[in-house]
Copies of this chain bind each other. A is one copy, B any other.
Amino acid sequence: MANLLVAQSGGPTAAINATLVGILQGVQINGGVEKVYGARHGIEGVIKGEFVDFQKFLGDFQGMNALMHTPSSALGTSRFQMPDLGEDESVYEAVIAKFLEYDIRYFIYIGGNDSMDTVSKLSAYCKEKKIKIGIIGAPKTIDNDLCLTDHCPGFGSAAKYIATTISELAYDICSYDIPSVTIVEIMGRDAGWLTATAALARLNGGIGADLIYLCESVFDMDKFIGDIKDKMAQKPSILIAVSEGIKDKEGKYISEKIGTGEVDDFGHVQIVAGAARVLTELVKREIGCKVRAVEPNLMQRAAAHIASKTDIQESVFLGQKAYSVSLQGATGQMVAIQRIQDAPYKVSFIAVPVSAVANHVKQVPLDWISGSGNNVNPKMLTYLKPLIQGQVNVSYEDGIPKYQKIY
Q: Does A389 contact B (CB under 8 A)?
A: yes
Residues of B within 8 A of A271 (CB): 258, 270-271, 273, 277, 281
Q: Is A37 an interface position by the 8 A CB rule? A: no
Which of B78, B299, B388, B400 meets A169, CB within 8 Å?
A: B299
Contacts A169-B299, A299-B169, A305-B168; A400 near B176 (Cβ below 8 A): no
Contacts of A12 in B (CB 8 A): 171-172, 175
Are the C-beta atoms of B294 and A282 separated by less than 8 Å? Answer: no
**CB of A308 within 8 A of chain B?**
yes
A278 within 8 A of B: yes
Contact A281 B299 (CB under 8 A): no
Contact size class for A?
35 or more
* Cβ–Cβ < 8 Å partners of A76 in chain B: 174-177
Taken together, the copies of this chain in the complex come to 2
Q: A172-B298, A268-B270 are in contact. List 19 more A-B contacts (CB 8 A).
A: A71-B171, A72-B168, A76-B176, A76-B177, A160-B399, A163-B400, A164-B400, A168-B304, A168-B305, A171-B302, A203-B397, A204-B400, A204-B402, A266-B281, A270-B270, A270-B271, A295-B297, A296-B299, A299-B299
Q: Which residues does A use to contact B, with CB under 8 Å?
A: 12, 40-41, 44, 70-73, 76-79, 160, 163-165, 167-169, 171-177, 182, 200-201, 203-204, 206-207, 257-259, 263, 266-271, 273, 277-278, 281-282, 284-285, 292, 294-299, 301-306, 308, 385, 388-391, 396-403, 405
Q: Which residue of B lies closest to A45 (CB)?
A: B177
Residues of B within 8 A of A297 (CB): 292, 294-295
